[in-house]
Structure 1
Amino acid sequence: MDLKTAKVTGSQSLDNSEARWIKLKKITYNDPLAKPRDWESAERTTRPAGSDIDGVGIIAILQRANGRQEIMLQKQFRAPVDKVCIEVPAGLIDSGETAEQCAERELLEETGYVGKAEETSCVMFNDPGFCNTNLRLVRVEVDMSLPENQNPQPNLEENEFIEVFTVPLVTMWEEMKKLEAEGYAIDARIGTIAEGVELAKRLGVKL
C-alpha cells in the first residue's frame, strides 16, 4: 500500500437527495443589528439521537520505558483536499456511547493499541463558519509495557487505508514542518497541539 498513489479522479455537484453523510442548508438569521441575513451551511446527518457530538479526536500518548512521551499520529488520504493528511486517530460516535468509550474503541480499531481514556475536552467545533460538525478531544494513555501493545494489529474497514506512526511530543512542531514540506496536509487538530507544545516550550511552561 502506498498512500501517495491515491488521487482524486473527478468531481461534480452533489444534490442533497443523493448525499448519504451530509446535507446543505440555507440558514436565515438576524445579525446583532437585527438585520435579516442568509448563510450557507453543511451539516452531518450521522449524529446519534441524544448525543451532543459527532465524534472524537484521540490524543494518544505512548509512555516509553525510557520516560519519553510520543504522540500517535496517522497518515490518511482525504479526497476533499486531494492529499494525504496527518491526523490524530478519530471516529464517529455510536448511539449510547460516551466520548471516552468511543475513543478507546476507535483507537483499538484504527491502530490496534489498547489505551485508557484519561481526560476529555469541551465540545469543539471544527469549522463553525462552514458547518456544525463538532467533537471532543480525548487524551488516552497507552501503556507500552502491556502485552497487548507489543504487536498491535488494527481492524480497519474495507475502505480505510491508514498508516500509524509516532513522533516525540517535544519535537512535534518541527516534525509537522518537515511533513508539510514533504507535501502532506496537516489536520488543524494536529497543528494546534503542535503549536501549543511549542508555545509552552518557548514560554517556559513545564510540560
Structure 2
Amino acid sequence: MVSSSKSKLLKTEPLEHKDARWAALRTWESSERLTRPQGSDIDGVGVVAILQDPSKPDETPRVLLQKQWRPPVNATVIEVPAGLIDPKESPETCAIRELKEETGYVGEVIEGGFGVSPVMFNDPGFCNTNLRMIHLTVDLSKPANQNPQPELEENEFIETFSVPLKDLWVECRKFEKEGYAIDARVGTLAEGVELAKRWKIV
C-alpha cells in the first residue's frame, strides 16, 4: 500500500473560470460544486463504519478511518471514507460502494432511522457542497471482511486504519500534534462521542 506521507505539493497556479471542472466561482466569493447529479439533493456521502465481531461482544467497537493527502490543505488528512454520489444512486448504496472501493470492507446500513443523516452542508458560508453521513456496521466475522482489499483509483493513495470509537477525541488530538489535518466530519464525530461521555447522556 502506498503511504500518503510520500505525497507533496508540486505546483499551484490560478485557474480561469472557463477552465474550472469542479467548482464555479461567483462574484460574491462563494463556490458551487458542479458534480451533483440531476435529481439528487446531495453531492456525496461520508461513511461512519463501525467494526464489530459478533463473536466478541465485549470488545470495544472501532471506527474505520483513513489517511489521505489533500492538496488544498497541503497535508495528510484524517478522514472517514467518503465519495461522490452517482446518478440515480441512493445514499445508502453510495456509502456501501465507497466503503468497499476505498477500504475493501463490506458494510451494512444501521437500521431504525439512524442509518442516514439529514443533509449536512460542509461550509455553507462559502460553498454549496453537501452530503449525508451514512452509518454502517462491518461484521468482521464474515468471510468478505477477513482480508479486505481496496479498489483504489490510479490517483488515490489511501491508508485505512481503525481506532476505538470511545478514544476518537484523544486520537484526534494526537494526530494534530503529529502534523495531520483533521477532517471536520471526523472532528465532529469525536466531539460528539466526547460530549456524550462527559455529560453522561448515554
| 1:147 correspondence with 2:147 | no
Q: For residues 135 and 2 of structure 1, what CA distance do their matches in structure 2 show?
A: 27
User: 2:50 corresponds to which residue?
Assistant: 61
Structure label with greater radius of gyration? 1
User: 1:33 corresponds to which residue?
Assistant: none
How many residues are aligned here?
Answer: 194
Q: For residues 172 and 17 of structure 1, what CA distance do their matches in structure 2 show?
A: 42
Q: Which amino acid aligns with 1:42?
A: S
Offset from partner CA, 1:71-100 (integer Å, 9 cap, x none): 000000000000000000000000000000
Q: Which amino acid aligns with 2:41?
A: D
User: 1:31 corresponds to which residue?
Assistant: none
* Greater RCO, CA 8 A, separation 6+: 2
Alpha-carbon offset, residue 67 of structure 1: 3.2
Contact 2:3–2:159 at 8 Å: present in 1 too?
Answer: no
Could you state the TM-score of these two structures normalised by the residue count of structure 1? 0.92
User: 2:36 corresponds to which residue?
Assistant: 47
How much is the aligned-residue C-alpha RMSD, in angstroms? 0.9
| Helix, strand or coil at the partner of 1:108 | helix
Superposition pairs of residues 145-184 of structure 1, within 5 angstroms: 145-184=141-180
Q: Which amino acid aligns with 1:192?
A: T
Query: Which structure is higher in strand share?
Result: 1
Contact 2:108–2:136 at 8 Å: present in 1 too?
Answer: yes
Q: Please list every run of 5 or more consecutive structure 1 residues that lacks an aligned counterpart in the other structure.
A: 27-38
Q: For residues 161 and 148 of structure 1, what CA distance do their matches in structure 2 show?
A: 22
User: 2:78 corresponds to which residue?
Assistant: 86
Q: Please list every run of 5 or more consecutive structure 2 residues that lacks an aligned counterpart in the other structure.
A: none
Q: For residues 53 and 22 of structure 1, what CA distance do their matches in structure 2 show?
A: 15
